[in-house]
Chain A
Amino acid sequence: SQQGEEDPQALSIQEGENATMNCSYKTSINNLQWYRQNSGRGLVHLILIRSNEREKHSGRLRVTLDTSKKSSSLLITASRAADTASYFCATDRSGNTGKLIFGQGTTLQVKP
């Protein structure tokens, strides 16, 4: 079963705009990771945020985590056409080994 739910399911923006995707989950976690997938290919790891962290940055990416609300958001600033992809959040529950639980993903289209 999917632990994460992502919102919105689809997002279409113009190049240069910011894109925000949200992820909610149901149980306590050890960490939360964001991945990108292009056209049914493999997943590319973007960023990992631990349960005791609230915000993390990597280049044009900003991730926040609110464990009290069991939610996370991924912000992509100054988007580019190459950012067009599906984005997934994945949670690693405390005590689990090697098991990530994925949300359904957000499909982002960035128009040039």
Chain B
Amino acid sequence: KAGVTQTPRYLIKTRGQQVTLSCSPISGHRSVSWYQQTPGQGLQFLFEYFSETQRNKGNFPGRFSGRQFSNSRSEMNVSTLELGDSALYLCASSFRRESGTDTQYFGPGTRLTVL
């Protein structure tokens, strides 16, 4: 099976712009979670989508949004970029069994630099 893919891998934007990142989960996986990784804050959960619905959300401002399509692919959008949004953005997919015991498989990440 192909792993989780993320595009683009690298992105440079300027303050005030917006950006859209894409994530394709492992075939058959229905859940996609997004995380932000920075040197200062570490790995922080952004949100999770399952069956095109956002089911869980982290503590991030409304500038961070996402969506999931019927084929489970997901996008996240950051509007009005700030310097502090520079980070590695990781998505992870899982089958999301109802038991809640599920392994998340991560993509290679998108490195966003905001100038």
> Which residues of A pack against B, CB within 8 Å?
1-2, 30-31, 33, 35, 40-45, 48, 50, 88, 90, 92, 94-105
Please classify the interface of chain A as helix (H, G, I), strand (E, B), loop, or mixed, using the class held by over half of its residues. Answer: loop
> Within residues 78 to 115 of chain B, which ones have a CB less than 8 A from any CB in chain A?
88, 90, 92, 94, 96, 100-109, 111
Chain A residues contacting B107 (CB-CB under 8 Å) are 42
Chain B contact residues (Cβ within 8 angstroms of A): what range? Answer: 20 to 34
CA distance A43 to B101 in the complex (A): 18
Q: Which of B100, B103, B106, B111 contacts A97 (CB 8 A)?
A: B100
Contact A102 B42 (CB under 8 A): yes
If A45-B105, A92-B100, A99-B33 are given as contacts, then 6 extra A-B residue pairs at C-beta distance below 8 Å, sorted by A number, are: A35-B106, A41-B108, A43-B92, A97-B55, A98-B102, A105-B42
Please name the 10 residue pairs, one residue from A and one from B, whose CB atoms are nearest each other, closest first: A98-B48, A102-B43, A43-B106, A42-B108, A98-B33, A42-B106, A97-B55, A99-B45, A97-B56, A30-B100
